Amino acid sequence: MVKIEEASKAGGSRYKEKIKKTIEGYKKLLPEDMHCFHIYYGYGKGKTTCVMGLIMRALGAGLRVRLVQFDKGYEGTNEHYSELNTLRKLKEAGYDIEFYSTGCERMNEDGTFRFKNSEEDFKEAKRALEIAGNLIKKAEQDLLILDEGIAAVVYHLIEKEEIEKLITLWEKNKKFELVMTGHKLWDGLEERADLITEMRKVKHYFDKGIPIRTGIDF
């Protein structure tokens, strides 16, 4: 056994050197090249859970956070996304967070889900795009998350070109970190991202009869 001072000097010399070079290289980047575009996607559970954790980390570091949720609205009484209760309290406590939930109610009274898109759903998706575009142009945040922005394309609420326009707008004004979530990628999207993490379903308790639960799934 060795003391921590000795342990910190031993082993991993190649890896340490690589980290040092990465840190020094990052310091030399222009400010607009220091920010990255993340994508968290897949049919496994955890995409929104992941970005909510990222929000907590960013706020804890004193960063300014903006969240736009596509197709996650509700009728105004029954909150379906418990994490928003936490975000409201953080905002009340003085943390620099703003969030915008768009979309119409998808939950039926019997607990099932409405899949067919309505005229109102399309209008709400357009509203989300407009909010996101304005936030990118103003660039008053350090972290912008477009939750289910990619999913909105897959479910035909918006066209992929509309999301790509937002990415292009950000690329011209890279003053903050950009994050998107969704279920699957389309050709050309992967090349534009700096980080991609796939949430792949290996096993899910829903398949053995356990429904979604408050505080765990929503």
Sheet of 65-69, strands arranged across: 97-101, 65-69, 143-147, 177-182, 37-41, 195-198
At 37, give phi and psi (nearest 5°).
-110, 115
pLDDT score of 11: 66
**How far is the C-alpha of 8 from the C-alpha of 2, rounded, in Å?**
10
Confidence (pLDDT) at 56 = 97
Of 176, 173, 178, 175, nearest in space to 149 by CA:
178
Measured CA angle at 90 (ends 84, 94), to 5 deg:
145
Helices (H), the chain: 4-7, 13-27, 47-60, 83-92, 119-138, 149-154, 160-171, 189-192
* pLDDT computed for residue 107 by the predictor: 76
What is the domain partition of the chain in residue ranges? 34-208
CATH of domain 34-208: 3.40.50.300
The rounded distance, in Å, linking the Cα atoms of 164 and 180 is: 12
The structure's pTM equals 0.90
* Per-residue tens of pLDDT for the chain, all 218 residues: 767 777 666 667 787 788 888 888 778 877 778 899 999 999 999 999 999 999 999 999 999 999 999 999 876 677 778 899 999 999 999 999 999 999 888 777 777 778 888 999 999 999 999 999 999 999 999 999 999 999 999 999 999 999 999 999 999 989 999 999 999 999 999 999 999 999 999 999 999 999 888 888 88
